[in-house]
Chains A and B, each alone.
Chain A
């Protein structure tokens, strides 16, 4: 192409060459590249590129031949029968063959618009048969047809007629498509009919041109029409691609890039047309007039260019809405999703359809949630995903979205951007689901705690009632009876005194009885509430309690506890816990030694009773003593842990809130 441009412009001073290259060859390349970029597998792309290349080659060969003619004095036309130089014949044949190939390709492109695929059986036969034209230059001379007739039959007529035939085939194709219900192809019918008319008219003028010779107004018009197929093909294809998405090009995805390339194509074409007209006019008219023609042409084509630009812009950017619609639709789905098992397939299918992907795989959950997996589309075995989006929320990974290639074309950065956006939305949705699950768990836990609280309160009330009854029994059945017995003994002593007897021993006995009553009362009062706890606090009370144990009990208390007084309920609960634990040790543990540790840590009062006894299985032991300890601890907002294993002793640890009373004994 460069060669042809160079030779044509500089050596031959042919003013057609540059407009030709700009107006026809380059648009073919651009349209071909554009199509190939979006649909590499489309035959249209291949053919467009082939067409551009053939046009380039044909141009190059032709201008090389022309250069030879001028430099070496070859004379190729009109053809005379006789010996010809092998070189010039070869060049001429090559040039004409190239033109023929170009014509056939144009025909095929036109006939198979817009997707380049055979829709009907007859198309395949007809179009394949065209390649048979290449055999004619050999077959016809052998059949005795004169050389110049061969030239006309093989090269001149087909070049004129073939685009027209292509357009006519397209018209038939559209008509038949309408009959078989292919609306997309049928929609092209007006264009196809118009194209067929114009191109057939062109063929007629071409023939007309051959009668008039290569000069004059008719030649100019003929030349203009001659360039028409090359230009129109490119424009039609690109337009068809956008209008009907017939190449599988999803124009919503790369608006800026698509618009950019279209703008370039349209403006190249516009420039090419203006130049062509201007330069071509310069061949036949005075400079002033040709300048006028160029200006008029520029002015005339300008609205067309603007219109095309507007059209493309509206098509390209107008469709962007649908992309947002896609996202909005997804977001709505995601917002209302609380069931991952339903969300995963929705997400997979939506993403696959939205981006036109072969397959999509969605995994939601993890990090404490059950995992839901869904796949949409056929995923080939061992296929590597084109893109993977882990679902991040903070530092947590809440799933993965991965997908394969698109069914048509390649995935663009914008596709991945959509994938990424969806992954972020999905991560939020999964996080929402997780929050909902946690909320449910919390609600359940609270319900359980409420039930446990009610039960514990009932147990505490029950325990208090039991304790009151026990005290009442001890007062009535024990102490009161002792005092009654004492009164009786007093009466006996008085009687004896009246009879003149000695009452010394009776009085001693009564005094002993009274001491016992005092002891019992003291014990009872201590059981109700140890006064030492009120007067001197927890450590003194625990120490005193420990001293009365029949086995060695070591009390360890931190220095920070000296003189500190806690709220009454805290001290009572702690003391109750220790005395209950010590009672349990005596009853069950067969321990040799017990350690009571009272410490302050992390703003809590910790009370720990450790024995070296037999231990017990904590999971299966539910004594009322243990339950009572737990109830008492939890009633004041503390927590109780019991660690025990058979043979290694038991650790009972309570952590209580540290409600310090005003320190009265510092």
Chain B
């Protein structure tokens, strides 16, 4: 049964559980997050099984999980993320990955983007970005690493009939920034355009993707979802 999500916000630091098999990285991440004062690391574990156990016991707000963990070192992090999202929809999961490969992101977002983030591991060094992603997923939203979006945007391998092919270059730019979890304000700053222009592009993008009737917050997530769904002409 879904449980009531503890309200995140200014009243307290995020309650975090870290899963990472590499000791130095695990401890480094813990210290970096705790140093900010915005996160409270409840547990730092080395395997997916320990992670699921800790989550069940501690009910954190958010989980930071390495994609590759023992025993087989493949995609245990993604499997664990799915399991956590299914058992506890209120807990957000940030998957840290050494693979700058979009197919792992697709794998993570296979059943939905809500409360999930796919970040490259080196984002640990940009602790602000990491914290922002933790807040986003804790709020049920979604983040994709800019590197992945960059690959997808630069890709030529798109089906001609995909909805994305109907977007203009500028609209694709806006969508890419949306996929990074930015607000209209932030996108306007990045693209050096006025906020109203961005809003116009966002609305036309929604219309082209058939999302006009959906509430504002979910529209943004759905746009990213649509983006991720349609960008690859891959097997699924």
Interface residues of A (CB under 8 A from B): 511, 514-515, 518, 522, 531-532, 534-536, 539-541, 543-544, 546-555, 557, 561-563
Contact = CB atoms under 8 A, between A and B. Distances in A.
A105 B151 CA distance: 120
Contacts of A552: 156-157
Nearest to A543: B234
A554 B122 contact: no
Interface of B: 74-75, 98-104, 107, 121-122, 125, 151-152, 154-157, 232-236
Contacts of B75: 535
A665 to B, nearest CB: 10
Given A522-B98, A547-B151, A536 B233 contact: no
Contacts of B107: 536
Contacts of B121: 518
Nearest to A525: B98
Given A511-B125, A539-B234, A544 B156 contact: no
Most chain B Cβ neighbours within 10 Å, of A531, A532, A534, A552: A531
A106 B212 CA distance: 131
Contact of B234 (A515, A540, A550): A540
Given A535-B74, A552-B157, A555-B233, 14 more contacts: A514-B125, A518-B121, A518-B122, A522-B98, A532-B101, A532-B103, A536-B104, A543-B232, A546-B155, A547-B152, A547-B154, A547-B155, A549-B156, A555-B157
A554 B121 CA distance: 30
B99 A548 contact: no
A551 B157 CA distance: 8
Contacts of B74: 534-535
B156 A553 contact: yes
B165 to A, nearest CB: 12
A515 B125 contact: yes
Contacts of A522: 98-100
Contacts of A563: 235
A555 B151 CA distance: 16
Given A511-B125, A548-B151, A553 B157 contact: yes
Nearest to B126: A511
B235 A546 contact: no
Contact of A554 (B101, B125, B151, B157): B157
Contacts of A557: 235
A536 B157 contact: no
B153 to A, nearest CB: 10
Nearest to B78: A535
Contacts of B100: 522
A532 B152 CA distance: 16
B151 A543 contact: no
Contacts of A546: 155, 157
A543 B236 contact: no
Given A532-B104, A536-B107, A543-B157, A561 B235 contact: yes
Contact of A543 (B98, B99, B125, B235): B235
A105 B11 CA distance: 152
Contact of A562 (B156, B233, B236): B236
B235 A540 contact: yes
19 contacts: A532-B104, A535-B74, A536-B103, A536-B107, A541-B103, A543-B234, A546-B155, A546-B157, A547-B151, A548-B155, A549-B156, A551-B156, A552-B157, A553-B157, A554-B233, A555-B233, A557-B235, A562-B235, A562-B236
Contacts of A532: 99, 101, 103-104
Nearest to A518: B122
A547 B235 contact: no
Question: Top 3 nearest A-B pairs by Cβ distance?
Answer: A552-B156, A547-B155, A543-B234
Contacts of A551: 156
A328 B83 CA distance: 86
Nearest to A512: B125
Contacts of B152: 547
A547 B104 contact: no
A350 B107 CA distance: 82
B104 A543 contact: no
B5 to A, nearest CB: 31
B83 to A, nearest CB: 16
B99 A547 contact: no
B102 A547 contact: yes
B121 to A, nearest CB: 8
Contact of A539 (B104, B156, B235): B235
Contact of A544 (B103, B122, B125, B236): B103
A276 B113 CA distance: 129
A487 B68 CA distance: 28
Contacts of B102: 544, 547
Contact of B99 (A511, A531, A553): A531
B104 A515 contact: no
B20 to A, nearest CB: 16
Nearest to A517: B122
A117 B156 CA distance: 104
Contacts of B233: 543, 554-555
Nearest to B156: A552
A280 B15 CA distance: 150
The residue in A541, A551, A554 that gathers the most chain B C-beta atoms within 10 A of its C-beta is: A554
Contacts of B235: 539-540, 543, 557, 561-563
A531 B100 CA distance: 11
A517 to B, nearest CB: 10
Contacts of A539: 234-235
Interface centre among B101, B103, B121 (most CB of A within 10 A): B101
A546 B232 CA distance: 10
A226 B45 CA distance: 139
A453 B125 CA distance: 51
A563 B102 CA distance: 18
Nearest to A521: B98
B146 to A, nearest CB: 13
Nearest to B99: A531
B75 to A, nearest CB: 5
B226 to A, nearest CB: 18
A550 B155 CA distance: 8
A540 B104 CA distance: 10
Contacts of A536: 103-104, 107
Nearest to B232: A543
Nearest to B103: A540
B155 A535 contact: no
Contacts of B157: 543, 546-547, 549, 552-555
A514 B124 CA distance: 12
A411 B102 CA distance: 89
**Max count, chain A CB within 10 A of own CB: residue among B154, B232, B234:** B234
